[in-house]
Amino acid sequence: MKEIKAIIQPFMLSKVVDALHKIPELPGLTVTKVQGFGREKGKGSLHRIVEDLIDYVPKVKLEIIVHDAMLDAVVQAITDHAHTGNKGDGKIFIYDVKDAIRIKTRERGESAV
């Protein structure tokens, strides 16, 4: 199992989620509003938030845990639909997931996802 963590521009979220909905058997996802900065340190963004003299840019974080077989389809959908070609498009990080538990059924491992 893998976790895909994608930090994308908020205005691209609905396009990305529409594309993810088209992947059969997508198990679910978590969305969080976040703020951070990349290589430009938040400078020059129209939407930047200044807190304690630090510049941050608002982004949206998607967290998706999938079976290994679905990894490439999810990464491709996010990459294609979050892309404008401009700075600040965001990043995707991929992690190994050790285990999962579905609380309702107490299933463990891949069948819990």
Interaction between residue 43 and ligand ATP (CB under 6 A) = no
Contacting residue, 15, 38, 81, 83, with ligand ATP by CB under 6 A: 38
Partner in contact with 102, chosen from Mg ion, ligand ATP, none, beta carbon below 5 to 8 Å by kind: none
With beta carbons less than 8 A apart as the criterion, state whether 107 and 1 touch. Answer: no
Partner in contact with 36, chosen from ligand ATP, Mg ion, none, beta carbon below 5 to 8 Å by kind: ligand ATP
Site stretch for ligand ATP (CB under 6 A), options 13-21, 33-41, 72-80, 94-102: 33-41
Number of residues that bind ligand ATP (CB under 6 A): 13
The region, left, alpha or beta by phi > 0 then psi within -120 to 50, assigned to residue 29 is: beta
Q: Least distance in Å: CB of 3 to ligand ATP?
A: 14
The contacts of residue 26 (CB under 8 Å, 6+ apart) are: 20, 64, 66, 70, 74
Q: What is the DSSP string of 29-81?
A: -EEEEEEE--TTTTTT-TT-EEETTEEEEEEEEEEEEE-GGGHHHHHHHHHHH
Mark 67-96 with x for binding to ligand ATP (rule: CB under 6 A) and - for no binding.
Answer: --------------------xxxxx-----
Binding site for ligand ATP (CB under 6 A): 7, 36-40, 57, 59, 87-91
